[in-house]
Amino acid sequence: MEWAEKYRPEHLADIVGNTSAVRQMADWAKTWTARSKPLLLYGKPGIGKTSSVYALARDMNWDVIELNASDQRTAAVIERIAGAGSTTASLTGSARKLIIMDEADNLQGTADRGGAKAILECIKNARQPIVLIANDLYGLAAELRLRCEPVQFRALPARSIAPRLKYICSSEKIACSESAVHEIAESAEGDMRSAVNMLYASAIGRQSLDGKNVHTSQKDERVSIFSLVTAVFGKTSDEELIRLSRDVDEFPEDIEQWVEGSVHTITDPAGLGLAYRSLSRADEYIGYTYRRQYHTLWRYATAVMLLGVADASAGKGIHSRILPPERWQKMSVAKKQKAIRAAVLSRLAATMQLPQATLREKYMDIITLLVDLDPETFARELALDADGLNFFLNDKSRAQEILKSLAKVEREKEPEPKKKGRKKAESPAKDADPAPAVDPVPKEELPVKSAPEERPADPPAPEEPGRKTVAHNQSTLFDGF
C-alpha cells in the first residue's frame, strides 16, 4: 500500500495542522441536531479534508456514506439517504450516518443531473449530518454555499509537514537526514499528500535517505483556474504566471474566457484597451493553432494573454467575484468541441500514462504528426470516432473515409454467418457484437456461383463506424515513443 493511504490519519487528533478547522468540526459534530447546517470543507488538495471527515466519523462512532460518483448524486438517491425518511439506525447500531459529498464544486453540468438541486433540497430537510468537500469555495452555487457552515483548510507549512515525514520514516525503519526531510517538506508547497508521495518515491526500498536521493518530481499539483485568474490581476511576477498557467488544467481558450470575464475590473481606459488587445492577440494564436494544428502556439497564446492582462491591471486585484464565463452556457458548438478534445486527451493520457497537462504542453504536435502519418492505427487503437480523428487531421472528409475503410476491414474480419439448417439460435455471449442478429442470406442460397468481385456491394458504412472499432491497446500504440 502506498504511504499516503497507509498513513492516512485515523482520528482527528492525528490530523497535522489546521487545528481550528478540526476543532470547528468536532464542535459541530458534538452539538449536531437536525437543524444544524452542513459543513463545507474547502481548501487545496492533499491537506487533510477527506481524512478529517473520516476521522471525525470514527471519533463520533458514526457510519459514513460517501456520494462521490456523479451518477450517485441524483435527487432520488440523496433523498433516500439523507432525506426526511432516513432517520433509522444503521446495521452497526450507529444512530447517525455521516453523508460525505466530495467534489461538491463539480456539481454543475450534466453529470450530476439534478444533483445540485437535490443537494440543496436535501440540505434543507436533512435528518443526517452532511459534509461537503470542495477545492474552490466559489465553485459552488451561491445558494448552496450560503446554506453551509464553511470550514477553511489551509496549506500546511513545511515545519508541520516535516515531523510527519520523520514519523513515517521511523515507522518504516528508514534513517532519514534532516536535509532530505526539509527538501521534501519545502517542495510540497503545503500539500501533505504530495510530500508523502515524494517521500515514498524517494525512500521506498532504502534503509536510509539523504538529500541526494530525494525525488521531488512526484509532485503534480493542479492549480485552480480561480488561483490563476486571481494571480493575473494581482501582483504576480511574469515567471510565476507562466508557471501557474502550466499547472492549471484548462485549455488556453477556456483560460481566455475566464480572464476575459474579469477584465471589466480594470477601470483605467488605457489599461482596458491593452487588456483587450492582449486577449484578441491570444485569440488569433488560438484560432491559428486549430486551423494549422500547430499546438506549440498554445503556449504563446497563454503567455500573451496572461502577461498582457497582468500588465494592464497593474496588480490592482479583482474587486468582484470570479465567475465562469457566461458565454459557455450559450456556446453549444464550442462545448461540443471541448468535449471532443477532452475525450481525445483523456484516452491519450490513459494510453500514454501521462497527465493531460503534460500531453497538451509537450506532445500534442508530435502526436498530431504521428496521427497524420498513420491515422488508421491511431483511430483503431484509440477507438476514435470521426470527430476524434478530425481533431488531429483537421479534415473531416479524410477522417470519415479512413473510418469507413476501417469499418470495412472490421466487417471482413467478422466470422462467416452460421450455415443454414441449424436447429436453434444460440444465445449470444453477453459482450458479443450484436451485428449479425438477423442472418444474412446464406452463401448456398445465392443465385449463381459468383466470383469474388461480383459479390454484392457492401452495405453503406454506418454513420460513425469509429465508435465500434476495437478497444485501444496500450502496449502497441506508443511502442518506442
Ligand X SMILES: Nc1ncnc2c1ncn2[C@@H]1O[C@H](COP(=O)(O)OP(=O)(O)OP(=O)(O)O)[C@@H](O)[C@H]1O
Q: List contacts with ligand X (CB under 6 A).
A: 4-5, 7-9, 15-17, 45-51, 135, 164, 192-193, 196
Which triple of cell numbers denotes residue 151? 470550514
Residues belonging to the chain: 481
If the CB atoms of residues 2 and 143 are measured against ligand X, the closer one turns out to be 2
Annotated binding-site residues for ATP read 43-50
CA distance 112 to 114: 6
If the CB atoms of residues 190 and 261 are measured against ligand X, the closer one turns out to be 190
DSSP summary character for residue 425: P
If the CB atoms of residues 184 and 399 are measured against ligand X, the closer one turns out to be 184
DSSP summary character for residue 128: S
Count each helix (H run) and each strand (E run) in the chain, helices first. 22, 7
Local structure of 43: helix, strand or coil: coil
If the CB atoms of residues 15 and 282 are measured against ligand X, the closer one turns out to be 15
As measured in angstroms, the least distance from the Cβ of 41 to ligand X is: 8
As measured in angstroms, the least distance from the Cβ of 69 to ligand X is: 14
As measured in angstroms, the least distance from the Cβ of 137 to ligand X is: 13
Non-local (6+) Cβ contacts of 251 within 8 A are 298, 338, 341, 360
Say if CB 176 and CB 169 are below 8 A apart.
yes
Closest-CA residue to 311 (of 258, 227, 236, 247):
236
Q: Cα 211 vs. chain centroid, distance in angstroms? A: 33
As measured in angstroms, the least distance from the Cβ of 240 to ligand X is: 23
If the CB atoms of residues 16 and 272 are measured against ligand X, the closer one turns out to be 16
As measured in angstroms, the least distance from the Cβ of 463 to ligand X is: 40
Sign of CA dihedral 53, 58, 62, 65: positive
As measured in angstroms, the least distance from the Cβ of 266 to ligand X is: 32
Which triple of cell numbers denotes residue 394? 483537421
As measured in angstroms, the least distance from the Cβ of 16 to ligand X is: 4
Burial of 272 from C-beta contacts in 10 A (0-12 / 13-18 / 19+): middle
CA distance 132 to 42: 8
**Cβ-proximal residue to ligand X, closest one:** 48
Amino acid type, 179:
S
If the CB atoms of residues 45 and 234 are measured against ligand X, the closer one turns out to be 45
If the CB atoms of residues 197 and 289 are measured against ligand X, the closer one turns out to be 197
Which triple of cell numbers denotes residue 413? 474480419
Say if CB 347 and CB 472 are below 8 A apart.
yes
